[in-house]
Structure 1
Amino acid sequence: MSTKIAVISSLAFRDRLISIAQEVENIQLEFYIYKTPDETPMLMKQIKPCDVLLLSGTLPYLYAKPLLPSWPIPWTYLQQEEFAISTSILSVLANNNLPLSKISIDVMNMQHVQNIVNDIHYEGPLPFIQEIHIDKPFDHIFRHHKQLWQDEKIGFVITSIHSVYDALTAEGIPAMRMHDSNSSIKRRLEQTKALSKMTKSESAKAAVGVLEFLESIEDYQLVLQRIVATTHASYQKIDDKHFELFTTFGHIQNAFHHNLLESFFNISKHPIKLTFGYGVSILEAQKNARQALKFATPNSVFIMNENKELQGPFPKDPTTLSLQTKDPYVLRMAKETKLSPLNISKIMAFSVSRQSLQFTALDLAEYLQVTRRTTERILKKLVEHGYAKVVGEEMSYQQGRPRAIYELNFSTYH
């Protein structure tokens, strides 16, 4: 089955892309043509069902960027590379008998040109360079090129913008469009096809959910049916408070993408827990979902993937916690302190999640979902081995001893 690629590009680039695409098997290109790249967001709203989106350059990508985080299918773009700039410059130098200083060029990143001249150890006068910004009118770039030509400072223009090229040639100014090599375009088409296949394969991965009602409630059937419908799942009853859901990674991600899962917790007045496990088999996904339930908190969603990474709580600010580690640093700490690698990983995640470096045992207890006494035992072991230190006391307006203020004394960025 061929991969259907929606392509947003200029008219000038379309024919070239069609020619190169003939060398890539099993792809079908569906074009959405802009006159200027700022039309990209409007064209995105016109795209019919397809497998993947290809933006034909950095400019359309920049205009599309605000829409891409919520874009429902995979996407990629043809990024301007130093190779394209260097071959374009070489073409002008070889065919027009001009020094580099007599060229005017506009690029997405000026540093690319500087890198090229550094690589060839060039020490002479540089070309005239304009950096492209989407908040700067392209007409300004055209006028600058034109002025340099009229002042006889240049003999040729290389432009990354098709509309600027058209305007320059209409004025009789020698110009060329930035030339991406056929091989780089072909490679991007192949990568685009591979991205689509990888995404589909990932979406088909098994996912098992566990729904736990913390109390026996009458309206459980409504909650269950809503979750089943949203995640396109089948289900089986484990006992009066537990149900197992069977679906795919793609359906779960789609529910997250459209913010559908958080609505479950508003249906019932009673607390519920919901976890999902991913795996290469139903059995593995099932085990991961059940293990995630041990760490889940009420009215939130937790996910454990095939790498034993626990993600959650959703829809709040989720963190990722690895339940297995091969990090020798963590393993050494676990051996010295007699704490589990899991607890140390949780403490690392706690540290990264906070704005303040200092904390109390109560702060850590609330994060770990354990008693303050348990947390104080953990902190005592960390302090004894130099992995934490007491840096002060919290003044209390109530009776009782002041609470110690701690600071971690080891690297948490692992």
Structure 2
Amino acid sequence: MKAGDFLLSIGIVGSQQFIDEISKYYRLYPSFRIVSYTYTSPGELDALIECAVKECNFLMFSGIIPYHYAKKILIHFPIGSSYLSFNENMVALSLLSIYYHRSLTLSEVSIDLPRREFLEGVLSEAGIAESASFVKEYPWIYDSLEERELSIEEFVTYHSALYEDKKTALALTSIHAVYDQLQERGIPSMFMIQSVPTIKGGLEKAITLAELNQSKNSQVAAVCFKNIGNEQITLFAKSMQAKVTSSDSGLQLVLSNRGVLQTLILNQKLAGLFNEMTTIYGKISFGIGYGYTVKEAESHAITALEFAEKKPVERAVYLLDEEKKLTGPLFQNEERYALKNEDPLVKKLSGELKMSSKNLSRFLYFLQVHDFRPFSSHELADYFTISRRSAERMIKKLLDQQLLQVAGEEQPYEQGRPRSLYQAGSKLKGLR
């Protein structure tokens, strides 16, 4: 069954115990298709996730451990995800249960958890002076760059050895696979308690994030370029399962949706398509725009193309999203800028200069694209597509406000007058 067969499909990934608990609340969301994916050890997750990303629009994981294993696959798909966070409440409920039902002290319990601080926080806030003697943590799991594997056997051995040496009477674990193996070995053990509010809250959060993610993926995506033959554009659109249209400005546009384009970006297929076109046409620039309407996506794609054309490289691709955040050049050392500048200082300066915030923001990004190097009025005129006289008027306004300073001159031709060069003053550099 495909994700497109339903309005929204959400996959829940966890152990059988977790699925048994959370599935009780699926009925609260009848307008969603919620699918359970169970595993017994982290090693099974690769195949499970490969299947889930094809069937669902969003994935929720039972905790940080399955999410840690899945993230290397998730980065290749435009699918949203969340996980149930470990918290101090789980530790507090588990310790209360152990004390009330088993009458054990902390020194008689071996504990594993992501960070020791969760336990120390509970003891400190409860005013308990006693400290735990046997604690094993795995804080590296929160490091997004860490690709280490969690050794289930290491944790099982840790708890088992302490119990067999009669140093402990119970193992409290935060890892389902460890709990299952301890049970098989006959070691008294308990899995950290996940409260009903925590589970229901996690599911509700996943539903909300899934809706937001779906809204984004269904946005219009437009790709525009100049000086490309119609045949090549048609082939490009066909490979994206998209359609070709013309913009009001006369540019050829390829229209698709954000979800499709994000997939092509993540799996590098878009880079391959652009490389093929570069091989045929030489230096080439592309602009990608996202928006809630075709008009908005088209406008953003054209703006992104303007930035791409300023890059002196063989192939430059820029992307402008619905929040006017510019990313690029894609597939290289990309950076991100916010074209929608709501900085109060920008608004104040635009008023003093009698220049629109939009034009001042564009000027700031002109400086950024040129790495704040000295520039001439000719370069500014080319960037804004205005006359040299208009560019000089803009520069004069900025000089009068001491936002620019004269950096020197250049002599581009043997004959003729030298051109003045300008550079940003400290106030403008502070707006980077």
TM, length-normalised to structure 2: 0.74
C-alpha spacing 1:279/1:72, structure 2 compared with 1 (3 Å): closer
* Distance in 1 of aligned mates of 2:195 and 2:182: 23
1:63 to 66, 69, 81: 69
1:203 counterpart = 2:217: yes
What secondary structure, in the 3-state scheme, does the structure 2 residue paired with 1:289 have? helix
SS in structure 2 of the partner of residue 225 of structure 1:
helix
Q: 2:247 and 2:51 mapped to 1: Cα distance?
A: 46
Are 1:361 and 2:382 matched, yes or no? no
Q: Does the aligned pair in 2 maintain the 1:54–1:76 contact within 8 Å?
A: yes
Q: Which amino acid aligns with 1:138?
A: I
Residue 64 of structure 1: CA displacement? 1.8
Q: 1:321 to 1:144 in 2, by over 3 A?
A: closer
CA distance in 2, matches of 1:238, 1:16: 53
Question: Is the CA contact 1:21–1:186 (under 8 Å) kept in the aligned structure 2?
Answer: no
Q: Please say if residues 302 and 313 of structure 1, whose CA atoms lie closer than 8 Å, have aligned partners that are also in contact.
A: yes
Residue by residue, what CA displacement relative to the aligned partner does 1:27-72 show, whole Å, maximum 9, x if unpaired? 4444443332233123323445223223222211122222221134
Matched residue, 2:257: 248
Mapping for residues 216-227 of structure 1, pairs under 5 Å: 220-227=229-236
Cα deviation, 1:379-410, whole Å, max 9, x if unaligned, reads 998898676899x99xxxxx99xx99988567
**2:223, 2:289 within 8 Å by CA — same for their partners in 1?**
yes
Q: What secondary structure, in the 3-state scheme, does the structure 2 residue paired with 1:300 have?
A: strand
Residue 283 (structure 1) shift = 3.1
Shift of 1:245: 3.5
C-alpha separation between the residues in 2 aligned to 1:152 and 1:95?
20
User: Given the alignment of the two structures, is residue 98 of structure 1 paired with residue 98 of structure 2, yes or no?
Assistant: no
1:333/1:12 CA distance change after superposition, 3 Å: same
**1:304–1:410 distance in 2 versus 1, CA, 3 Å:** closer
1:321·1:346 contact (CA, 8 Å) conserved in 2? no
> What SS is found at the alignment partner of 1:235?
strand
Instruction: Name the SS of the counterpart of 1:179 in structure 2.
Output: coil
2:250 & 2:422 partners in 1: Cα distance?
41
Percent of pairs with identical residues: 26
Aligned to 1:282: 294
* Cross-structure match for 1:41: 46
| 1:113-132 correspondence to structure 2 within 5 Å | 113-126=119-132, 128-132=134-138
- Match of 1:163? 177
Q: Residues of 2 paired with 1:334 and 1:28: CA distance?
A: 50
What is the alpha-carbon distance in structure 2 between the residues aligned to residue 368 and residue 82 of structure 1? Answer: 59
The 2-side partners of 1:367 and 1:319 are apart by: 22
Change (3 A) 1:112 1:381: farther
Q: Tell whether the 8 Å contact from 1:278 to 1:304 is kept in structure 2 after alignment.
A: yes
Q: Kindly state the Cα deviation for residue 343 of structure 1 after the two structures are TM-superposed.
A: 7.1
2:83 to 64, 77, 81: 77
- Provide the secondary structure at the position in 2 that maps to 1:314: coil
Question: Partner of 1:12: helix, strand, or coil?
Answer: helix
Question: 1:104-129, CA deviations, whole angstroms, 9 ceiling, x for partnerless residues?
Answer: 21101211112222222322233521
Is 1:317 the counterpart of 2:333? The answer is yes
- Which amino acid letter does the alignment assign opposite residue 302 of structure 1? Y
Asked if 1:301 is matched to 2:320, the reply is no
Separation of aligned partners in 2, 1:169 and 1:322: 53
Distance in 2 of aligned mates of 1:291 and 1:353: 13
Question: Hey, what's the Cα distance between the residues in 2 that align with 1:230 and 1:81?
Answer: 46
Q: Give 1:269 deviation, angstroms.
A: 1.8
Partner of 2:100, secondary structure, is helix
Cα–Cα, structure 1 residues 102 and 383, in superposed 2: closer, same or farther, change >3 Å?
A: farther
Opposite residue 344 of structure 2, the aligned amino acid is P
Aligned-partner Cα distance in 1 for 2:128–2:342: 48
- Map of 1:88 onto structure 2: 94
Return the letter of the residue paired with 1:99: T
Name the CA shift for 1:178/1:70 in 2 (closer, same or farther; >3 Å): same
Secondary structure class of the residue paired with 2:226: strand
2:259 maps to amino acid: G
* Alpha-carbon distance in 1 for matches of 2:299, 2:319: 12
Instruction: Tell me how far 1:92 sits from its aligned partner.
Output: 1.1
Matched, 1:180 2:194: yes
Counterpart in the other structure of 2:144: none
Query: CA separation of 1:7/1:325 partners in 2, compared to 1, >3 Å: closer, same or farther?
Result: closer
CA distance in 2, matches of 1:129, 1:379: 65
Q: Residue by residue, what CA displacement relative to the aligned partner does 1:68-89 show, whole Å, maximum 9, x if unpaired?
A: 2113422222222222222112
Q: Kindly indicate whether the alpha-carbon contact (under 8 Å) linking 2:11 and 2:35 is maintained by their aligned counterparts in 1.
A: yes
Pairing 1:260–2:272 present? no
Task: Look up the equivalent residue of 1:328 and give its one-letter code.
Answer: P
SS in 2 for 1:70: coil
SS at structure 1 position matched to 2:326: strand
Size of the alignment, in residue pairs? 400
Inter-partner Cα distance in structure 1 for 2:165 and 2:220: 66
Which residue of the other structure, out of 324, 345, 352, is the alignment partner of 1:329? 345
CA, structure 1 residues 143+152, in 2 after alignment: closer, same or farther (shift >3 Å)? same
8 Å CA contact retained: 2:77, 2:263 = no
**Matched position secondary structure for 1:278:** strand
How far, CA to CA, are the matches of 1:317 and 1:376 in structure 2? 33
Shift of the 381–316 alpha-carbon distance from structure 1 to 2, 3 Å rule, reads farther
Q: CA deviation at 1:297?
A: 0.8
In 1, Cα distance between the equivalents of 2:13 and 2:248? 52
Q: Judge which range, 260-269 or 63-72, deviates more.
A: 260-269
Following the alignment from structure 1 to structure 2, what is the Cα–Cα distance between the partners of residues 6 and 207? 26
Instruction: Indicate the SS of the match to 2:178.
Output: helix
Give the Cα–Cα distance (whole angstroms) in 1 for the partners of residues 337 and 358 of structure 2: 8
Label 1:83 to 1:276 Cα distance change in 2 as closer, same or farther (>3 A).
same
